[in-house]
Amino acid sequence: MPKPQNLLIGRIGKKETLAGSKVNLTANLLESKFLNFFTDPKRCRTLQAVSFQSLLWWQEDQRYLSKPTFTRALYWLPILAQNMPSNSPDFANPKWINRHKFMFNFLDINGDGKITLDEIVSKASDDICAKLDATPEQTQRHQDAIEAFFKKMGMDYGKEVEFPEFVKGWEELAKHDLKLWSQNKSTLIRDWGDAVFDIFDKDGSGSISLDEWKAYGRISGICPSDEDAERTFEICDLDNSGKLDVDEMTRQHLGFWYTLDSNADGLYGDFVP
């Protein structure tokens, strides 16, 4: 039997894929990296260093774990499950429908009751990226992410979509992304977030400041006031670091747009219902 390798896990919130490797986590490492983190429910919500699927893998491969570590993993398994975004969003909820009706109207630039991918790309890439001084490469990456996101909803260039089809597309997108999330795989909403952060993150720190988010909110129109931007930080800064990273933003956007997680309410202040 091959000797298990130790795994040193970095900052909580960073995604790690454990599949395909045999990992021996000591009780001390688990305690220092996970147990203290779990004592704060707010911070627990952003946990992605070990996914639900990874814990299931631990359960199946007990022989690679010390008994104390395995016991702790089993103890935290249901708690982690409760703090992950729900995989069963309520698509019939009026709140869910109204939230996406707002987004439809926001994207309907000419106000004709129809939207196209052309309008979305024009607003998001040609307008927003230009004002944020994105490089051509960053602009293309951002556009690619937006295209993949909205094409998953059934949209395409030159195709006019009215609200009933739009909201139905959101349902399919939500089911698609939540399935990937449950498998610790990258989601389309995460890919879009990565593209946005790539433009903001000038120093390569992996996070953005409140001032940077305020600038994006004003330029994009999604968070137009300083008060709304500050509310975003209050909702998304799960580790109270004073900055936002893409893991935090992904977790809260999944909850806001897909599952109506009450912990994500107010993501855009009072601007988006």
- The tokens for 55 are 């814990």
Fold of domain 94-264: Recoverin; domain 1 (1.10.238)
Place of tokens 């109506």: 260
Q: What are the domain boundaries of the chain?
A: 94-264
Give the active site residues: 100, 170, 216, 253, 268
Tell me the DSSP string of 101-137: HHHHHHH-TT-SS-B-HHHHHIIIIIIIIHHTT--HH
Tell me the DSSP string of 51-118: -HHHHHHHHHTGGGS-HHHHHHHHHHHHHHHHHSPPSS--TT-HHHHHHHHHHHHHH-TT-SS-B-HH
pTM score: 0.68
pLDDT string in tens for the chain (273-residue length): 332 222 223 333 333 333 333 333 434 444 444 444 444 444 444 343 334 444 444 444 444 444 555 455 555 444 444 445 544 688 999 999 999 999 999 889 889 999 999 988 887 776 778 888 899 999 999 999 999 999 999 999 999 999 999 999 999 999 999 888 878 788 999 999 999 888 887 777 778 888 888 888 888 878 888 898 898 888 888 888 888 888 888 888 998 999 888 888 888 888 888
